[in-house]
Amino acid sequence: MGGTPLVEWRTGLDAGDLSASMLTRLCLDRMDCLEPQLNALTHRDREFSLAAAQAADQRLRRGETGGMLGIPFVVKDNINLKGMPLTNGSRIMRGHTSTYNATVVQRLLNAGAVPLAKANMDEFAMGSSGEYSAHGPTRNPWDLSRVPGGSSSGPIVAVSAGYSPLALGTDTGGSVRLPASFCGVTAMRPTYGALSRYGITAMASSLDQVGPVATSAKELALGLSVMVGQDPHDCTSLELPAAARLEDLRPASLKGLRIGLPQEYFGEGLQSGVRDVLMTALSRLASEGAELVEVSLPHTRFAIDTYYLLNTSEVSSNLSRFDGVRFGAREPGESLHGMIARTRDKGFGPEVKRRVLLGAFCLSKGYYEDFYLRALKVRTLITRDFQAAFQHVDMLATPVSPSIAFPLGEKTSDPLSMYLADIFTVTMALAALPALAIPAGLSQGMPVGLQLVGPSLSDVHLLEVSAAFQELTDHHLRIPPFD
């Protein structure tokens, strides 16, 4: 079952050869078998999922077809799914149950998709390895001794290990793209606003986006087709141009396509094996008529500093509401302030505490102008770099990560080293651009991802180009040896 394309399931459901209940049972049984080793999930409710599958089967019997009807999906544990726990991978949220659905979840449910489980994640989406969770670390199905990447470790592993053909993660600075590269799946950070953020736990509001995950670009587009569109609950949401092409995505012609290669992304620090895989992938695109053009994004060297100044500042503000007063766990204290301090000390993990403290410092009197405001100005310069590059090319191609997945525990004691894992993904978040991570091959037996980046609102074209690449290769169909 691992790696079975969602498109084939769609065909089988529409023809009556498959049922949603059958597929749901297969997914749930697979989770029972593999989950003790992978730890990709935080909550499952078999009866809940099977009831949704039976409702989908009734719609199929009435003659409804297409879209996401009857297709199972998994949801990251910072996205509201009514009736299921919402923990954000944190002790401070234990005991909290969602009372409503996030917009993206509700649209999938309306389309007849079947929710399977909530997926593990780095606490409050803060992490690049999948190790910072109160539920324990998630493991990479390609090598159980290595990290799967984060923060959307659970949704990525759910697709890579064949739990589900579609999953919803979130991407703030690379949280679906980095683990997608480490685990050999396809994941997208859409243009900021293309997917509603209503019902998503806010970490850094100007950067957070829902990130869909699937085996291929075509499958990912099918999921997107029912989720995109303006939402009255989210004032930042917008209509995505050419969204009508998503449901039946067609590969784009590569002839004459101008692909920019930012020189800052292919320099020192990139593992030689990763570089070799990417050069082979780019040569394949060029052999089909794409033109590879060297470009420059000169302010890239400031990206990590800028991203983490803004990220931690927004984190310190957004997480102030997790205090034990209104929801979640509460620790006893002799006063209100004592209770809040004790609750946050016991409830938050070390990475969350680190970012809250750094953000509070950045926003404090005397430092606000030197850190937060200056970072906002550099963010503008980074955005202008991309705008200038897109005057000469149609899209950009970059690495997703400087390396293959690293061993568990290798970077947890070195926060700066962990942050640098995001060096090729944070710039797109700062510039609010769509970016797609697709499997490009293997290095040392581990997956390597290629990142395609487009101008704002070019999401559909990015997917069409990715689909063209995936028609030429079979990297996205490879199954972890663990399977």
Q: Residues with catalytic annotation?
A: 76, 151, 175
Task: Give the pairing type, strands 186-189 and 435-443.
Answer: antiparallel
Q: Which residues pair with residue 168 across a beta bridge? A: 75, 212
**CB within 8 Å of 221: residues ≥ 6 apart:** 246, 247, 249, 460, 463, 467
User: What single letter denotes the amino acid at residue 298?
Assistant: P
Summarize the chain as % helix, strand, coil (round to 5): 45, 15, 40
- Mapped onto helix, strand or coil, the DSSP state of residue 438 is strand
Query: Which H/E stretch holds residue 360?
Result: helix 350-362
Distances (CA, A) of 217 to 7, 70, 84, 165, 249: 11, 19, 29, 12, 8
DSSP H helix total and E strand total for the chain: 15, 11
| 415 burial type by CB count under 10 A (0-12 exposed, 13-18 middle, 19+ buried) | middle
Dist CA 94 CA 85 (whole Å): 8
Long-range contacts from 335-343, C-beta under 8 angstroms, 24+ separation: 343/92
**CB within 8 Å of 238: residues ≥ 6 apart:** 191, 193, 194, 230, 457
Count of CB atoms situated within 10 Å of the CB of 235: 10
Q: Which residues pair with residue 74 across a beta bridge? A: 117, 167
- Alpha-carbon 402 to chain mean position: 18
Q: Which two tokens mark 250?
A: 């067609």
Expressed in angstroms, the distance from the first to the final Cα of the chain is: 9
Angle between helices 217-227 and 103-110 (to 10 degrees): 100
